[in-house]
A and B are shown apart, each in its own frame.
Chain A
Amino acid sequence: MSRIGVFVCHCGTNIASVVDPDRLTPAAREMPGVVYAADYRYMCSEPGQQMIKDSISEHGIDRIVIASCSPRMHETTFRKMLKGTSINPYMLEIANIREQCSWVHADKGRATEKAIGLVRMAVSKVSKNEPLYAQSIPITKRALVIGGGIAGIQAALDIADAGHEVVLLEREPSIGGKMAMLDKTFPTLDCSACISTPKMVDVGAHPNIRLMTYCEVESVSGYIGSFEVAIRQKARYVNHDICTGCGLCETKCPVKVDSEFNLGLSKRPAIYKLFPQAVPSKPVIDSESCRMLKDGKCGICAKLCPLGCIDYKDEARTVTESFGAIIMATGYQLVDWAAMYGEYGGGRYRDIISGLQFERTVNAAGPTEGHILRPSDGREPETVVIVKCVGSRDPKKGKSYCSRACCMYAAKHAHQILEKLPGSRVFIFYIDVRTPGKGYEEFYDQTRMDGAVYVRGRISKIYEEDGGLVCQGEDSLLGSQVRVRADMVILETAMEPSQGIEGLTSMLGAARDANNWIQEAHPKLRPVETQVGGVFLAGTCQGPKDIPDTVSQASAAAAKVIGLLNKSEMETSPMISAVERDKCSGCGACVGICPYKAITLQEIDDRLGAKRIKREVASVNSGLCQGCGACTAACRTGALDLLGFRNGQILEEVDALCL
């Protein structure tokens, strides 16, 4: 017979003002198996914990129920406490009488009755608890950072500075990401390149960082502490071991295609560096446009290269590397507004550009050397209309969410236009102006002082007439239709997850939210972790954010990784699935349903009567299993059970409440 102790917490007045401990504690004392029950003002406090420990030895208690706040809050606290006593940390159940009772009910009598019911359930469950023991798994002291934008760069530098090895993987030919494309950053108007390119150089030179550019993740296996990642190095056609990055090869290439970095506002050759400050500062050949690779005719760059670096026979290679932890820093892309907004011309008008195209335009290293000129005729615009929330906050056509950074960079764009083109006029069409950040509201105020005209309303249509762009919309403060003739229109478009996020997250087993952003483990308390152990999040792959938030999150993710890699082995949660082999028929239903790829079929030796046979049974990898329980529901024979939440335990709880 189990000897159960019940401890009721008042949580100051949080619980006790609604749930009456003077009724709850005596009621608990009468429950089957309970040998002791007591209540206290703060059970989680030092004296509270001491009281529990003393009671355990005094009354020979072998398992306990604590009626208090949510187990998410203090279950770990009390498990740690039990480590110093005679009983196993998993011989504990928490009855949540705060979040699920006192905080949500007003009727004291009925709330107390509910609390008694909750405690009765916990008492029944704990009577079926069994000691569980954590296992430990070794940790490979090496981190993989996927994505070489500012998030990946910051995370890689932080981990490397702490003394751990990092591989920074980037699919483009250079690291730098979106930040390298920006002109200035709000609200301080720092030159974006001046603050990001030194970090890029640091990454390139850091002894603990290995840069793998023009690479993509091909597959991921393993689990926290020991991931095996197959990385595909795309063919560069340039031998980077001997290339010095002199740039001679680029000068005579006859091919001209749209520059990705300048978003189609200029051309680049087929052999190219993404941008002049690229890291590594060495070119690659774009096989889709290179004449030699397409038609076998040309070869000019090979003739020009003084070191013989060009290798048209280069092929993609796949290498497999081991890592203890992975940081996702895959960033965002802007929505394809032209496909979504036919009413803005659907991409037919050249003088309607995206905010990122404006960044390239106003950037001194961009295609117009920083002069704000219309793409159609190269003239300076006199009137510019900026449209915010294009694709954001628009559940009918685009994304329902706010893209967070646009309000501020719209203000920055307006400021830059008014500064560079004296006498020009800027109209900003907005839904709301959102400026939550240090110095942000002040910057927005300054932009209005600069002369930017904020019009509250959406643009319903943009069309070309008599050489200008007519922007038709609503001024919802005036309650009237307005029409502005603009020379150029900037659309501040929504962020969406980078292309390829689905494949990558499925390989890792990480979840995505309704909008395809990678889901954090908990929106408030575990914002840089995923549900998959050892996989962390940095930057906009988790959701839209600006540079300061991105860098903060990257450093936070790095701190988590450093903490993990500092250990040589780690404990895993014992509350995972377990297979009763005798019952398992080897049907494999659990294999497909497991979101963490933790279950495989394994061949075992068995007997059928007197005959020795081999058959397959499910096998759970304790490093991968996150204890979600999906397999236990899918198992047809009931061979799978979740330790700590066995079917028998759950049914016992239900019986306690219903019978």
Chain B
Amino acid sequence: MRYSYFPGCSMESTAKSYRLATEYVMGRIGVELVEIEDWNCCGATSAHTLSAAMGLALPARPLAMAELREPGLDIVTGCASCYARLRLSMHKARSDKAAKYLIENVIAMPYEAKREVYSFLDVLSGEEAAAAIKAKVTRRLTGLKAACYYGCLNVRPAEVTGAPDRENPMAMDRIVGLTGAEAVDWAFKTECCGAAHQNDAASVSRPLVWRILKNAQANGAEAVVTACPMCSLNLEMRQGGYRKHTGLPSMPVFSVLELLAVAMGASARQIALEAHHVPAAKALAAALRRSGGGVAI
């Protein structure tokens, strides 16, 4: 399995443990990620609000680069924001001739949108990948109750993402299940976390984060699992005030790749678990202990 890979800016900065886990897991299950040459910012979340042309052209450029260098490969990204922007450009280039013309003029290269843009969830829930994951899981995260948070942009808008269920997606739940952890049924899988306004309107946006965490805990979750560095950042770094406001304990937040990496034997150091703001290793260690492995994390 080979893909053209669009890392996105978060992977280069805030999402250190996510990036290390991605490299670890993809290596173990034999997915080769070919980083797109000279990739650029996808424009999220500001470009499209300032200029429609820029909003379409910025993500289209790396896609066009990928199709030029590796015409046989589909594209994958690990960030929901990137995914939404890349996929929108792909969708527009396919369905709207005027948009395609505009894009090609701005980026000064052809973009045929022949290859698909996938998220890590799409890639990891494929049959072949799932079988590879099963084969590589060496220690189970037994009893770790996790709430899978997909975020809004992995599923919406439906005509762009093609997601079959915008309210209760299950792809990540199934992947988490492969690690031995238990994905809980909860109600806020795709709810808005207020990411766009966490800096300028904190009084509105913080409670959006809190209610997501609260519903996860109300349904028995002890950790939130995401498939996006931006989601992770918001849910994890905006927990200040959560304990005071709700009286509930703070929640560790993992990327689904971190769970997979740990279940495949990665050590805390290998995937930089210490980089988390909310202490993360403890919950994983407890799960590993329950599985009887007693392996130190």
Interface residues on B, range: 10 to 19
List the B side residues contacting A342 at CB < 8 Å: 165-168
Q: Does B215 count as interface, using CB distance less than 8 angstroms?
A: yes
Verify B168–A465 contact, CB threshold 8 A: no
Q: Does A161 count as interface, using CB distance less than 8 angstroms?
A: no
Q: Which of B166, B185, B191, B218 contacts A466 (CB 8 A)?
A: B218
Taken residue by residue from 316 to 349, chain A's Cβ proximity to chain B (1 for < 8 Å, 0 otherwise) reads as 0000000000000000000000000011011010
Closest 8 CB pairs of A and B: A342-B167, A463-B187, A465-B218, A343-B167, A466-B218, A342-B168, A465-B215, A346-B168
- A465 to B218, alpha carbons, bound, how many Å? 6
- A464 to B218, alpha carbons, bound, how many Å? 9
In the complex, residue of chain B having the shortest beta-carbon distance to the beta carbon of A472: B211
- A565 to B80, alpha carbons, bound, how many Å? 68
Q: Does B214 count as interface, using CB distance less than 8 angstroms?
A: yes
Can you show 23 pairs from A to B with CB atoms below 8 A apart?
A: A342-B165, A342-B166, A342-B167, A342-B168, A343-B167, A345-B187, A346-B165, A346-B167, A346-B168, A348-B168, A348-B185, A461-B187, A461-B191, A463-B187, A463-B188, A463-B215, A464-B187, A465-B187, A465-B214, A465-B215, A465-B218, A465-B219, A466-B218
- A463 to B219, alpha carbons, bound, how many Å? 11
- A185 to B187, alpha carbons, bound, how many Å? 36
List the B side residues contacting A343 at CB < 8 Å: 167
Within 8 A of A (CB), among B211-246: 214-215, 218-219
Within 8 A of A (CB), among B137-151: none
**Min CB gap B163→A, angstroms:** 11
List the B side residues contacting A461 at CB < 8 Å: 187, 191
**Min CB gap A171→B, angstroms:** 33
- A342 to B169, alpha carbons, bound, how many Å? 10
- A346 to B190, alpha carbons, bound, how many Å? 14
- A345 to B191, alpha carbons, bound, how many Å? 13
Taken residue by residue from 147 to 175, chain B's Cβ proximity to chain A (1 for < 8 Å, 0 otherwise) reads as 00000000000000000011110000000
- A91 to B187, alpha carbons, bound, how many Å? 72
**Min CB gap A652→B, angstroms:** 45
List the A side residues contacting B191 at CB < 8 Å: 461
In the complex, which of the residues A346, A461, A464, A465 has the most CB atoms of chain B within 10 Å of its own CB atom? A465
For the residues of B in contact with A, the DSSP-based class is loop
**Min CB gap A175→B, angstroms:** 39
List the A side residues contacting B165 at CB < 8 Å: 342, 346
**Min CB gap A481→B, angstroms:** 10
Q: What 4 new A-B contacts, CB under 8 Å, besides A342-B167, A346-B168? A: A463-B187, A463-B188, A464-B187, A465-B219
In the complex, which of the residues A345, A346, A463, A466 has the most CB atoms of chain B within 10 Å of its own CB atom? A463
Within 8 A of A (CB), among B188-222: 188, 191, 214-215, 218-219
**Min CB gap A479→B, angstroms:** 14
**Min CB gap A360→B, angstroms:** 27
Contact surface of B with A, Cβ cutoff 8 Å: 165-168, 185, 187-188, 191, 214-215, 218-219
**Min CB gap A66→B, angstroms:** 53
In the complex, residue of chain A having the shortest beta-carbon distance to the beta carbon of B187: A463
Taken residue by residue from 450 to 487, chain A's Cβ proximity to chain B (1 for < 8 Å, 0 otherwise) reads as 00000000000101111000000000000000000000
In the complex, residue of chain B having the shortest beta-carbon distance to the beta carbon of A466: B218
Within 8 A of B (CB), among A418-472: 461, 463-466
List the A side residues contacting B218 at CB < 8 Å: 465-466
**Min CB gap A189→B, angstroms:** 37
List the A side residues contacting B166 at CB < 8 Å: 342
- A461 to B215, alpha carbons, bound, how many Å? 13
- A461 to B218, alpha carbons, bound, how many Å? 17
List the A side residues contacting B187 at CB < 8 Å: 345, 461, 463-465
**Min CB gap B149→A, angstroms:** 14
In the complex, residue of chain B having the shortest beta-carbon distance to the beta carbon of A344: B167
- A503 to B219, alpha carbons, bound, how many Å? 46
**Min CB gap A494→B, angstroms:** 19
**Min CB gap B248→A, angstroms:** 12
- A481 to B214, alpha carbons, bound, how many Å? 18
**Min CB gap B151→A, angstroms:** 16
**Min CB gap A584→B, angstroms:** 45
- A461 to B187, alpha carbons, bound, how many Å? 9
List the A side residues contacting B168 at CB < 8 Å: 342, 346, 348
**Min CB gap B251→A, angstroms:** 15
- A87 to B167, alpha carbons, bound, how many Å? 71
**Min CB gap B162→A, angstroms:** 16
- A465 to B165, alpha carbons, bound, how many Å? 21
List the A side residues contacting B185 at CB < 8 Å: 348
List the B side residues contacting A348 at CB < 8 Å: 168, 185
In the complex, residue of chain A having the shortest beta-carbon distance to the beta carbon of B191: A461
**Min CB gap B221→A, angstroms:** 12
In the complex, residue of chain A having the shortest beta-carbon distance to the beta carbon of B214: A465
**Min CB gap B268→A, angstroms:** 33
List the A side residues contacting B214 at CB < 8 Å: 465
**Min CB gap A335→B, angstroms:** 17
List the B side residues contacting A466 at CB < 8 Å: 218
**Min CB gap A397→B, angstroms:** 11
- A461 to B192, alpha carbons, bound, how many Å? 12
In the complex, residue of chain A having the shortest beta-carbon distance to the beta carbon of B167: A342
**Min CB gap A303→B, angstroms:** 45
Taken residue by residue from 108 to 152, chain A's Cβ proximity to chain B (1 for < 8 Å, 0 otherwise) reads as 000000000000000000000000000000000000000000000
- A345 to B167, alpha carbons, bound, how many Å? 8
- A464 to B184, alpha carbons, bound, how many Å? 13
- A343 to B188, alpha carbons, bound, how many Å? 10
- A463 to B191, alpha carbons, bound, how many Å? 11
- A464 to B186, alpha carbons, bound, how many Å? 8
- A343 to B165, alpha carbons, bound, how many Å? 10
- A463 to B214, alpha carbons, bound, how many Å? 12
- A543 to B185, alpha carbons, bound, how many Å? 39
In the complex, which of the residues B187, B188, B218 has the most CB atoms of chain A within 10 Å of its own CB atom? B187
In the complex, residue of chain B having the shortest beta-carbon distance to the beta carbon of A463: B187
Taken residue by residue from 237 to 255, chain A's Cβ proximity to chain B (1 for < 8 Å, 0 otherwise) reads as 0000000000000000000
- A348 to B188, alpha carbons, bound, how many Å? 14
- A464 to B215, alpha carbons, bound, how many Å? 8
- A465 to B191, alpha carbons, bound, how many Å? 15
List the A side residues contacting B215 at CB < 8 Å: 463, 465
**Min CB gap A172→B, angstroms:** 33
**Min CB gap A596→B, angstroms:** 39
**Min CB gap B193→A, angstroms:** 14
In the complex, which of the residues B165, B167, B215 has the most CB atoms of chain A within 10 Å of its own CB atom? B167
In the complex, which of the residues B165, B166, B215 has the most CB atoms of chain A within 10 Å of its own CB atom? B215
**Min CB gap B245→A, angstroms:** 15
**Min CB gap B264→A, angstroms:** 32
- A429 to B167, alpha carbons, bound, how many Å? 21
Within 8 A of B (CB), among A367-384: none
In the complex, residue of chain B having the shortest beta-carbon distance to the beta carbon of A467: B218
- A466 to B216, alpha carbons, bound, how many Å? 11
**Min CB gap A313→B, angstroms:** 45
Within 8 A of B (CB), among A466-521: 466
**Min CB gap B184→A, angstroms:** 12
- A466 to B167, alpha carbons, bound, how many Å? 20
**Min CB gap A463→B, angstroms:** 3
List the B side residues contacting A345 at CB < 8 Å: 187
List the B side residues contacting A463 at CB < 8 Å: 187-188, 215
- A461 to B166, alpha carbons, bound, how many Å? 13
List the A side residues contacting B219 at CB < 8 Å: 465
**Min CB gap B52→A, angstroms:** 22
**Min CB gap A472→B, angstroms:** 9
- A464 to B214, alpha carbons, bound, how many Å? 12
- A466 to B220, alpha carbons, bound, how many Å? 11
List the B side residues contacting A465 at CB < 8 Å: 187, 214-215, 218-219
**Min CB gap B201→A, angstroms:** 14
In the complex, residue of chain A having the shortest beta-carbon distance to the beta carbon of B186: A463
- A342 to B191, alpha carbons, bound, how many Å? 12
**Min CB gap B234→A, angstroms:** 19
**Min CB gap B158→A, angstroms:** 11
